[in-house]
Structure 1
Amino acid sequence: MILSLKNIVYTHKKNKVTVLDDVTVDFSPGKVYGILGKSGVGKTTLLALIAGMDTVDSGAIFFKNQNLENINRDKYRQQEIGTVFQQYNVLPNETAMTTLKLCTLNSCTQGIDRLYEALKKVGINQKMANQKIKKLSVANQQRVYLAKAIINNPELILMDDPVESLNELSLKMVMEYIRIYAKNENKCIIICSQSKAIAEHVDELWGLNGGKLSFIKDNIEKGKL
């Protein structure tokens, strides 16, 4: 297991609502996990806790058998995980190339060819790589966000509703890339979404409701992937 959540509980500080209640789950490398849930059930909170952006009230989160409480969180976020949150933290007036350059400055030196190759892997050609992000289609913007998330070769990738603005064809293309990437690079990818459209594109599907995380189905067992 690369990531384990053990009996975690989290209550919002302001409204005192417990959004995660005794959640226990293990995540393995080489697999894509989908977590379904309606708006407000705690999906973003769950990813924020895994990303080390907040702390649990009780229970523990382990990354490679180390408690997040004992890990250097800045280093963890820079080197071990990649994130695609709803507020994507990109500059729409910048190009995809500039975006990748900015997010690699503090971790490792990337050659120009290396950045182009990262974008090419997600379906962004050289012409699109040098256009302003806001000029790209929604599907291609999603591909840029993906490239940003994986550019530093993280072990764990967290995605918060990355598919809600994609049409069926674009969704299939983006999710197919995610699935192949997880398998070929032995990475763990966790996708939280309101959309049931992700159900057939993940290895394991879970549901979050009423603070509880429940297993729904395993597509590998059904031979769908």
Structure 2
Amino acid sequence: MSEWILEAAEYRYEHSEIKTLDRIEGSFQTGRSYQIFGDPGSGKTTLLALFAGLAVCTKGSLTYDGQEIASLERHRYRGCEVACLFQTGSLLKDSPMANLEMEILLSGEKPERESLKSLLLSVGLAENQLKLPTNRLSKSDRQLVTLAKLMIKSKAQLVLVDEPEKVFSECGVLFAMARLRNYCLQQKKCLIFTTQSTQSVNFADELWGLNGGKLLFIKEQRPS
């Protein structure tokens, strides 16, 4: 079991006097899913950036299996240990197959084309779409490609999604989150997703809230 632990973690943007995250605490483990509620501007995306290794704590710590993420080779950590999807998305203009191949190569694994093809078909793409440039796909189908990207890195222990109601708005948030949670549960990965909505609440083992820079545990539940 892998674990991420926040201890008195703070984050303050450069030249800002306000702490975006203020001495937050929390423990997050593989095999479980976590939903973090928060209003716009509450620091949800910043928190995910810390988990992804895209930013480091101004004070305090965030550790992964006892090691400070700030002290790790963060490029390797992001490539191998984390699969993340932020609201801006990150698809190449190349084909769905090429997008998955690049994700695998960045993680240091060897692409197996039949596995990539099988995953893309399983999320709902048609075979004649697999080699089309992504800008020729509908918005819904592009979102299915991003869903597949989250599930292609077999070695990644942590899956992060920023506002699933937005990033899966066209392909169906309930479909995408059900598929993603089942995958993370079966593969014993840690799933953390942020939201302003209760639409995806049933896919979390634990509910947390972020407000005024503070991260608060709300409750544990049994996902439906």
Other-structure match for 1:39 = 40
Q: Which runs of 5+ in 2 are unaligned?
A: none
SS of 2:199's equivalent?
helix
Tell whether the 8 Å contact from 1:142 to 1:162 is kept in structure 2 after alignment. Answer: no
User: How many residues in Structure 1 have an aligned counterpart in Structure 2?
Assistant: 221
Moved more, 51-60 or 114-123: 114-123
Pick aligned residue for 2:209 from 193, 207, 210: 207
Structure-to-structure mapping, 1:45-84, within 5 angstroms: 45-84=46-85
| TM-score, structure 2 as length reference | 0.90
Residue-by-residue CA offset, 1:14-42 (whole Å, 9 max, x unaligned): 33221101111111111111111111111
Q: Report the aligned-residue RMSD.
A: 2.0
- Counterpart-to-counterpart distance in 2, 1:66 and 1:118: 33
* Percent identical: 32
- Counterpart-to-counterpart distance in 1, 2:72 and 2:122: 31
- Counterpart-to-counterpart distance in 1, 2:193 and 2:131: 28
| TM-score, structure 1 as length reference | 0.89
- Counterpart-to-counterpart distance in 1, 2:124 and 2:33: 20
Paired AA for residue 173 in structure 1: F
Other-structure match for 1:16 = 17
Other-structure match for 1:115 = 116
Q: Which runs of 4+ in 1 moved over 6 A?
A: none
Other-structure match for 1:104 = 104
Q: Does 1:171 align with 2:163?
A: no
SS of 2:215's equivalent?
strand
Q: Does 1:189 align with 2:176?
A: no
Tell whether the 8 Å contact from 1:94 to 1:132 is kept in structure 2 after alignment. Answer: yes
SS of 1:18's equivalent?
coil
Other-structure match for 2:95 = 95
Instruction: Using the TM superposition, give the Cα deviation of residue 119 of structure 1 relative to its aligned residue in structure 2, in angstroms.
Output: 1.9
Instruction: Using the TM superposition, give the Cα deviation of residue 188 of structure 1 relative to its aligned residue in structure 2, in angstroms.
Output: 0.4
- Counterpart-to-counterpart distance in 2, 1:77 and 1:119: 23
Instruction: Using the TM superposition, give the Cα deviation of residue 122 of structure 1 relative to its aligned residue in structure 2, in angstroms.
Output: 2.9
Other-structure match for 2:31 = 30
SS of 1:158's equivalent?
strand
Task: Classify 1:202/1:136 alpha carbon distance in 2 versus 1 (closer, same or farther; 3 Å).
Answer: farther
Structure-to-structure mapping, 1:118-129, within 5 angstroms: 118-129=119-130
Task: Classify 1:160/1:169 alpha carbon distance in 2 versus 1 (closer, same or farther; 3 Å).
Answer: closer
Tell whether the 8 Å contact from 2:140 to 2:170 is kept in structure 1 after alignment. Answer: no
Residue-by-residue CA offset, 1:113-153 (whole Å, 9 max, x unaligned): 12112323433342332333234344432221122223222
Instruction: Using the TM superposition, give the Cα deviation of residue 173 of structure 1 relative to its aligned residue in structure 2, in angstroms.
Output: 0.7
Q: Does 1:162 align with 2:171?
A: no
Residue-by-residue CA offset, 1:24-64 (whole Å, 9 max, x unaligned): 11111111111111111111111111111111111111112
Task: Classify 1:122/1:217 alpha carbon distance in 2 versus 1 (closer, same or farther; 3 Å).
Answer: farther
Moved more, 51-60 or 138-147: 138-147
Q: Does 1:216 align with 2:204?
A: no
Task: Classify 1:140/1:205 alpha carbon distance in 2 versus 1 (closer, same or farther; 3 Å).
Answer: farther
Task: Classify 1:216/1:39 alpha carbon distance in 2 versus 1 (closer, same or farther; 3 Å).
Answer: same
Moved more, 209-218 or 123-132: 123-132
Q: Which runs of 5+ in 1 are unaligned?
A: none
Other-structure match for 1:145 = 146
- Counterpart-to-counterpart distance in 2, 1:151 and 1:80: 12
